[in-house]
Amino acid sequence: MPRGGETRAMERKRQAEQRVHPRLLNSPEAAIYLGVSETKLRELLERGEVSSVRIDGCVRFDVRRLDRRTYSRAPPREAARNAGRP
């Protein structure tokens, strides 16, 4: 049911926006996505550990590239399972 003063079209648009998962994130969203502070995200960017794109002067982070960084740094399952074993 539309909220106060909202037309059906506005309601459908709002619902669609809630279902869409953006591919590009801004800095605060990317930091949350990675579970780090914005300061740490800037450090990672300066060291080249994450990459960004600029769109109309705004810095954006590609979710797929953030995922690759996360997964490429994760230890292989077998190595993690055997860690600490002789």
Global pTM exceeds 0.75: no
Q: Is 10 contained in some domain?
A: no
pLDDT digits (tens, 9 = 90+) for 41-86: 999 999 999 999 999 999 999 999 998 877 666 555 554 454 555 5
Q: How many domains does the chain have?
A: 1
Q: Is 86 contained in some domain?
A: no
Distance between CA 59 and CA 38 in Å, rounded? 13
Q: Is 14 contained in some domain?
A: no
Three-class SS state of 69:
helix
**CATH number of 64's domain:** 1.10.1660
Report how far apart, in Å, the C-alpha atoms of 9 and of each of 13, 16, 57, 73, 81 are. Answer: 6, 11, 31, 44, 52
